[in-house]
């Protein structure tokens, strides 16, 4: 009898996870490694890359980190071939995870600040996808996973640039899926809900009196699962979208959000 779990194996695959030195990117990289992939990851800070390599190694994961900025096309076009040389083969799985957020009211956000978020969270994913796609086409296929967000669907105050970028990333996912499906490249997205990482730490800080941050309480109330997600909650979906188990899944965003998107809000008692 066939073992269905074989369809989730990533043995022999090379995965590149952007922003893999901590947070969601590190959890996704660990998941892909546990499924058999060899891991390349990047970030802009060399010290964090070095620390991350030690953390991966302590888990038995031989991940190699590279210091480059996904918004700098010349750096991307230097490092992707270097990764392919180091790993002895082209990138099979790209996870566009690297991203930032700026929480500033629209009337106070500068155009430069707006552009910086768009540049990293949206244009960076385009630059990375454009860099790996030719080799995927030549090889006969590949996987691209874009880390979108609840803000690909919903808005909230002070995150206009981020929501615009993540909404755009949803549509970039769908469009590249259409353009590259004939080459057996599946392009999909994961939409995490509110996940406890450094990016959301300011929203969870304990108040001076030891009480929970008001936003923390707000998210708990808006989440049917009544908890923040953790990066590990994204591991299974990552392996699914990176493996042959999803070979007929194209242009989909899978929301891993504890039910937030399905929820109208707690009804009055
Ligand atoms: P995080 O803790 O802030 O980590 C972001 C990662 O991206 C870091 O490794 C950072 O490393 C890297 N990075 C940022 N800009 C980069 C650039 N220009 N080039 C290369 N690397 C860059 O964020 P996170 O919470 O793990 O989130 C990861 C992704 O999930 C982001 O796209 C975020 O928008 C998305 N997301 C997060 C949540 C959440 O609740 N946490 C929910 C939905 C979606 P360096 O700064 O060293 O470069
Ligand atoms: C915020 C949060 C969110 C999460 C995530 C939700 O300020 O609202 O940072 O944007 O990061 O994107 O899915």
Taken in order of first residue, the domains within the chain and their CATH numbers are: 8-195+230-262 (3.40.50.720)
CA of 216 to the centre of ligand 1 (A): 20
pLDDT at 161: 98
CA of 84 to the centre of ligand 2 (A): 33
Which residues is 195 bridged to in the sheet? Answer: 229
Q: Please give the model's pTM, rounded to 2 decimal places.
A: 0.98
Q: In sequence order, which residues have a C-beta less than 8 Å from that of residue 80 and are 6 or more positions away?
A: 16, 91, 128, 131, 132
Rounded distance between C-alpha atoms, residue 135 and residue 201, angstroms: 38
Rounded distance between C-alpha atoms, residue 57 and residue 59, angstroms: 5
The minimum-distance atom of ligand 1 relative to the CA of 44 is: 48
pLDDT at 48: 98
Q: Is 199 in the pocket of ligand 2 (CB under 6 A)?
A: yes
Alpha helices in 35-159 (DSSP H): 46-58, 73-87, 111-118, 124-139
pLDDT at 62: 87
**Ligand nearest the Cα atom of residue 99:** 1
**What is the DSSP-derived secondary structure letter of residue 180?**
H
pLDDT at 152: 98
In b/e form, how buried is each residue of 110-119, taking b as 16+ CB within 10 angstroms?
A: eeeebeebbb
Can you say how many angstroms the Cα of residue 106 is from the centroid of all Cα atoms in its chain?
25
> Which residue minimizes the CA distance to atom 12 of ligand 2?
149
CA of 4 to the centre of ligand 1 (A): 33
Per-residue pLDDT reduced to its tens digit, 192-219: 999 999 999 999 999 999 999 999 999 9
CB 63 within 8 A of CB 56: yes
If the chain, 269 residues long, is cut into consecutive pieces of 10 residues, what is the mean pLDDT of each piece?
97 98 98 98 98 98 97 98 98 98 98 98 99 98 99 98 99 98 99 97 94 95 97 98 98 98 92
Other beta carbons within 10 Å of 266: 10
Per-residue pLDDT reduced to its tens digit, 95-125: 999 999 999 999 999 999 999 999 999 999 9
Rounded distance between C-alpha atoms, residue 151 and residue 62, angstroms: 33
263 a catalytic residue: no
């Amino acid at each position: 009898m066939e073992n269905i779990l074989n369809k989730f194996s990533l043995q022999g695959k090379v995965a590149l996870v952007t922003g893999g030195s901590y947070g969601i990117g590190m959890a996704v990289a660990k998941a892909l490694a546990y499924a058999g992939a060899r891991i390349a990851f990047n970030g802009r800070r060399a010290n964090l890359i070095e620390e991350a390599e030690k953390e991966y190694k302590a888990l038995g994961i031989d991940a190699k980190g590279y210091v480059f900025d996904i918004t700098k096309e010349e750096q991307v076009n230097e490092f992707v071939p270097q990764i392919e040389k180091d790993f002895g083969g082209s990138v099979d799985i790209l996870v566009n995870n690297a991203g930032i957020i700026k929480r500033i009211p629209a009337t106070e956000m500068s155009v430069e600040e707006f552009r910086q978020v768009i540049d990293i969270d949206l244009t960076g994913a385009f630059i990375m996808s454009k860099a790996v796609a030719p080799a995927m086409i030549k090889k006969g296929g590949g996987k691209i996973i874009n880390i979108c967000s609840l803000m690909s669907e919903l808005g909230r105050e002070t995150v206009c640039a981020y929501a615009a970028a993540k909404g755009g990333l949803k549509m970039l996912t769908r469009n590249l899926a259409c353009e590259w499906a004939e080459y057996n490249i599946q392009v999909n997205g994961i939409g995490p809900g509110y996940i406890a990482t450094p990016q959301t730490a300011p929203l969870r800080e304990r108040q001076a009196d030891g009480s929970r941050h008001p936003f923390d309480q707000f998210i708990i109330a808006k989440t049917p699962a009544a908890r923040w997600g953790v990066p590990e909650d994204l591991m299974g979906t990552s392996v699914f979208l990176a493996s042959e188990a999803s070979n007929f899944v194209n242009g989909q965003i899978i929301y891993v959000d504890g039910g937030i998107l399905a929820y109208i809000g707690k009804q009055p008692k």
